[in-house]
Amino acid sequence: MRSLFLSRLTAIWLLLALVTIGSWVVGHGPGLVDHRLAGVVALVIAMVKVRFVILDFMEIRHAPLWLRLAGEVWCAGLAIGLTTLFLIG
Amino acid sequence: MSGAVRPDTTRAGFAGHVPGEAGIWLFIAGDMVLFSVLFAVFLTHRAEAPDLFGAGRAALDPRLGLVNTLLMLTSSWFVATGVAAARRRRPRIPAACFAAALACGAGFAGVKYLEYSAKFTAGLTPMTDDFFMFYFVYTGIHMIHVVIGMGVLYGLIAYLRGRDIAVVNLQHLETGASFWHLVDLLWIVLFALLYLVA
């Protein structure tokens, strides 16, 4: 039982929860004075979280290359696309 | 004896393994593409009316967004841990984990109800402006995913109930789990767009 819950999954969940609170502070708390920088940081943090969910919770970290590549390319593409759209806005 | 070595299916994400049934990945890919377009459309409209979107974002309760994000992440952790427990053929734990995830999903829906109620009471509806049109439509589409996902989790719990863990088909669990994780990751991006950067 201990090995089941004291696992990499639990460490990732804790990390994601802490990062979520951190990005919330950046967006709403004292955070960053530069709103554009704060927005970019929030978007990048969101996509890093999404990548962890895809690789570790969805278990495609060790999946066949085509599946892992599809996940990685979608994450990177969306991160670049959203950040660009945000900055030109 | 052929000497062939079977993959160790008790370990999470063993090399070369596609979690769940192939069809679910086709669905997940389609949903990800659809939502990518929705996210891009949102930011394109935001660029045309940054002040309006900023005011809309300021009218949202960021604490509720934060609570819902933590509920989604926690539910995903429960689901992933449930699948890991089933892979190790641990009885009862998978169903308990899926039930905990279902409770998190119900909590998410409850918070969303509170949030929608507060908005309607304040006179904020999809007709108010572009921001709230996007807010209600996007979170509404996501909420439909949550409800379907909760049905899937309930189905997995029913499947596990009274069945010997040794004969449980892990592929069924992985398929349902993958859908739930999709619901989680879509919310992560929605949270950032609506509550943090709008």
Interface touch A4/B90, C-beta < 8 Å = yes
Interface touch A28/B62, C-beta < 8 Å = yes
d(CA A7, CA A63): 20
d(CA B148, CA A29): 34
CB atoms within 10 A of CB B123: 7
- Over residues B163-193, the pLDDT tens digits come to 999 889 999 999 999 999 999 999 999 999 9
d(CA B27, CA A28): 35
User: 3-state SS of A48-73?
Assistant: HHHHHHHHHHCCCCCCCHHHHHHHHH
In chain A, % of residues over pLDDT 90 = 66
The band of B198, judged by pLDDT with boundaries at 50, 70 and 90, is low
Minimum Cα–Cα distance from A7: chain B residue: B81
- Over residues B21-64, the pLDDT tens digits come to 989 999 999 999 999 999 999 999 999 999 999 999 999 999 99
- Report the pLDDT value the prediction gives residue B1, as an integer from 0 to 100: 39
pTM, 2 dp: 0.92
- Report the pLDDT value the prediction gives residue B72, as an integer from 0 to 100: 98
Interface touch B17/A23, C-beta < 8 Å = no
| Residue A46 forms contact with B (CB below 8 Å) | yes
> Quick one: which of B189, B109, B121, B93 has its CA closest to B146?
B109
Across B46-60, B97-111, B154-168, which has the greatest mean pLDDT? B97-111
Residue A27 has pLDDT above 80, yes or no: no
The full set of domain ranges for chain B reads 62-197
Distance from B154 to chain A by nearest Cα, in Å?
A: 19
Distance from A2 to chain B by nearest Cα, in Å?
A: 11
Q: What is the CATH number of domain B62-197?
A: 1.20.120.80
| Residue A79 forms contact with B (CB below 8 Å) | no
- Report the pLDDT value the prediction gives residue A31, as an integer from 0 to 100: 57
For residues A64-88, average pLDDT: 95
Residue pointed to by tokens 């994450």 = A75
